[in-house]
Structure 1
């Protein structure tokens, strides 16, 4: 029957990241980590796309502004320039340079032909519109007559944060609707140029017939130290993302106009849609993995625990005490297997304890019944006879039986308290040699002339740092003294007159210490080496009066040693020829470190 060994159990106890713990961490951490990574990636990616779109559009506007500032200019005489000056900057001395409307309009349209998706407008420094690219008069509204579809696609697009227009290709020339820019009369542009340039703050009025309704505006983080005008980014009610930048038209250090460039950032929306769709797919995959892992966790943890609960219930209700935990659960190499093996061992130990209690109760009843029967018989006989001497002898027998009952009840009470007391008491470090020395001194002070002599032979500790110190064990000192007194008393009752009893302490290897009590008595019959530890078993010398012992001393001693995680065994001392020289009891206890 495969079960977890003690070494495997200790390994599972030392490892904080056990197999079950890894399963639990995987189930709980995987969806959270996946969600956190995708959300962080999406935020940075969205901002990067917008910044890239703004940078490309601004670079395009700079090209337009540079070309217009060099090629679409005209020179005005000073008086004419002064007459045309409008509440902006004052007229300068001599001739002045300004944009030529006809040349600027033609040049702007030629510049915007390679990129029809962008709508460009040119304004004078005072905000008056000068020129615009092809289609700028139609603004950036959807083509007339195109109805929006309503249904699941709109709901899904809205949930993902974009509209249907994100997936539409940009239209060209006459086949595709021309786009303009949204500008309101109230909106004020502030152009930031080089410090040496005088840049006016102007109000730009749009000449477009259609003004898209703005749903929300997007603000990008401003770069520190930048002197450029911030871009205008907004999303219309129909879901389109519009990006607008402005650049000053500069000629020989003077601002002579403003280029406004507007473009629908459909590529940003399309890319963002693809990324969000992939995140949605990953979410579905993560959800599926979570379901599968939860199912796996249920199979590996929840169901086995339920099986253990059913097994425990069956073992509780089983009168025959034959049922055990299923083998497939005890064969597992994780915490469930450890729990199943422990539950099965606990049930077996409980049944063994219950059987022992039943046998003990039966033995106690039998042992108490014998002296009670003797007492009753003696009393009945004393009442029928008139001889005083015989009545005295019967009273003497009654007195012996009463003392026997008292001793028997005392030992039974002691045996009943051992388990409960040891379960509440924590073992401590106890040095063995000093205890044996005190017991030998007490025996020397009280023994008779022909009584046995106790001889103590104790080895010292040989471990580094403890050289010369007495060997110590983990035990409860009072109960250990009780065991040693029982064994020494047993040895004294079998020792010949003026014999010797050896008390030896030595290392037993594998972390244990042995305490041996050896005598020079007749020894133990080989067939009785285990029977002598049974309750109420007595094998006394012929010269000893009956009833002096209850037969529980060795049984209680073994019970105490077993509870201290040790062992008590009996054997015979023999010579080279195999002749028995005496009895030997060996107590083995864990060594204290």
Structure 2
């Protein structure tokens, strides 16, 4: 079909295969299509079939004289696209079905370590803390999770064992004074003293000693609890070490039962930042502990020196009976005694096995370290190291060099 420039039919050839009779397009629409960059459109003929209609300008002397309208049915293309869409849909559905069929076994294999972790966690919840997960050989997220889980369970097991041992030791320590109190009160109720004031005083003094002993133990336990929870308040200030050691030496003389007390102070010591009262308490406890296990003809030596520009060391040496190599690694454990048989004797009475544990916690809370060395039959040496005040200024700026050991 040939159209005029206005879009009206000029020549119609119904026998031509290029024509599409029954397709009526308005003249203004034809003009818009010619002016656009896409000179074709999709339309429907009178039979409802899609036709691709193309408009080709006929130019003579650089002027458009007519428009050639050519159309062709798109049914073959539509049929191909319909078939292609059906094949594509069926392919996607088959692929999706195969993926579903394969993903469940793969997910089951991948989640097997997580199932093992869940099963193990249920067993751990039943107080079976010795169980561990079989760690997968891979170093992926599951493998790292299994290793972290085993490490967490190991720490939990250690913590529960310490707690059980702590409760058992505390119960054992409290049972003895309670037994003494019960026996003495029973004797008073039975009238064993028969009005003898001296016997009554003796029984009362025994009960008073046991009450003081339990009071000290409760205070020590409370101090350890506060240290564990970080609630113990330390009043840190500048401490002159030589003045502090002079004070401790003077008090140690009154605690001695004949042992010689020596005090060696190196001149020119730098100050340290610490809680003076707590540090004095630590040193007196260590001196008292040394006096308990040093014979009357023995010697206690308190020595303070500057090991370097950054460290001040306080050492307490005694010439006592010493500690066996087997017991030395455990002396800072709570309620631990190197020789349990001597803990109830009259010479060594009053100890609860908490003194060194408290000393260690207090020293470390003040950025210090504590070490103990001993030779059986020759004596024991306890050394406390604290950063000098100049060094502490660096520590406050998060420069934490390793202390000399």
Pairwise TM-score range, normalised by the shorter structure: 0.5 to 0.7
Match for 1:373 among 152, 162, 179?
179
Counterpart CA distance in 2 for 1:438 and 1:408 is 31
> Are residues 1:296 and 2:92 paired?
no
8 A contact 1:538–1:551 mirrored in 2: no
1:424-467 CA-to-partner distances (Å, cap 9, x unmatched) read 89xx9x99xx76x456533434641855547589999xxxxxxx
Q: 1:566 to 1:439 in 2, by over 3 A?
A: closer
> Are residues 1:317 and 2:126 paired?
yes
Match for 1:184 among 10, 19, 24?
24
What SS is found at the alignment partner of 1:551?
coil
Counterpart CA distance in 2 for 1:537 and 1:407 is 17
What SS is found at the alignment partner of 1:324?
coil
Q: Tell me which structure has the larger Cα radius of gyration.
A: 1
Q: 1:561 to 1:181 in 2, by over 3 A?
A: farther
1:183, distance to aligned residue in structure 2 (A): 1.8
What SS is found at the alignment partner of 1:327?
coil
1:293, distance to aligned residue in structure 2 (A): 5.3
Match of 1:570 in 2: 372
Q: What TM-score results when the alignment is normalised by the length of structure 1?
A: 0.48
1:571, distance to aligned residue in structure 2 (A): 1.8
8 A contact 1:488–1:517 mirrored in 2: no
Q: 1:532 to 1:253 in 2, by over 3 A?
A: closer
Match of 1:195 in 2: none
Residue pairs, 1:467-486, within 5 angstroms: 485-486=281-282
Q: What TM-score results when the alignment is normalised by the length of structure 2?
A: 0.66
Residue pairs, 1:433-582, within 5 angstroms: 437-438=239-240, 440-445=242-247, 447-448=249-250, 450=253, 453=263, 455=265, 485-486=281-282, 489-491=285-287, 493-494=289-290, 499-502=301-304, 517-522=314-319, 524-527=322-325, 528-534=327-333, 535=335, 537=337, 546-557=348-359, 569-572=371-374, 582=380
8 A contact 1:505–1:516 mirrored in 2: yes
Q: 1:359 to 1:452 in 2, by over 3 A?
A: same
> Are residues 1:362 and 2:362 paired?
no
Structure 1 unmatched runs, 5+: 1-120, 140-179, 193-218, 461-468, 508-512
1:493-532 CA-to-partner distances (Å, cap 9, x unmatched) read 427667323377779xxxxx99865322126323331343
Match of 2:392 in 1: none
Matched length: 365
Match of 2:210 in 1: 401
- Name the structure, 1 or 2, with higher relative contact order (CA <8 Å, separation 6+): 1
What SS is found at the alignment partner of 1:132?
coil
Match of 1:122 in 2: 2
What SS is found at the alignment partner of 2:52?
strand
Counterpart CA distance in 2 for 1:502 and 1:394 is 44
Residue pairs, 1:66-465, within 5 angstroms: 121-123=1-3, 127-132=8-13, 134-136=15-17, 180-184=20-24, 186=26, 188-191=28-31, 230-234=39-43, 241-252=50-61, 256-265=65-74, 269=78, 280=89, 281=91, 285=95, 288-289=98-99, 292=102, 296-301=106-111, 303-317=112-126, 321=128, 323-329=130-136, 331-379=137-185, 383-385=191-193, 386-419=195-228, 421-422=229-230, 437-438=239-240, 440-445=242-247, 447-448=249-250, 450=253, 453=263, 455=265
8 A contact 2:14–2:21 mirrored in 1: no
Q: 1:555 to 1:360 in 2, by over 3 A?
A: same
Structure 2 unmatched runs, 5+: 254-260, 292-297, 388-394, 400-405
Q: 1:570 to 1:122 in 2, by over 3 A?
A: same
Q: 1:311 to 1:568 in 2, by over 3 A?
A: farther
Residue pairs, 1:25-40, within 5 angstroms: none
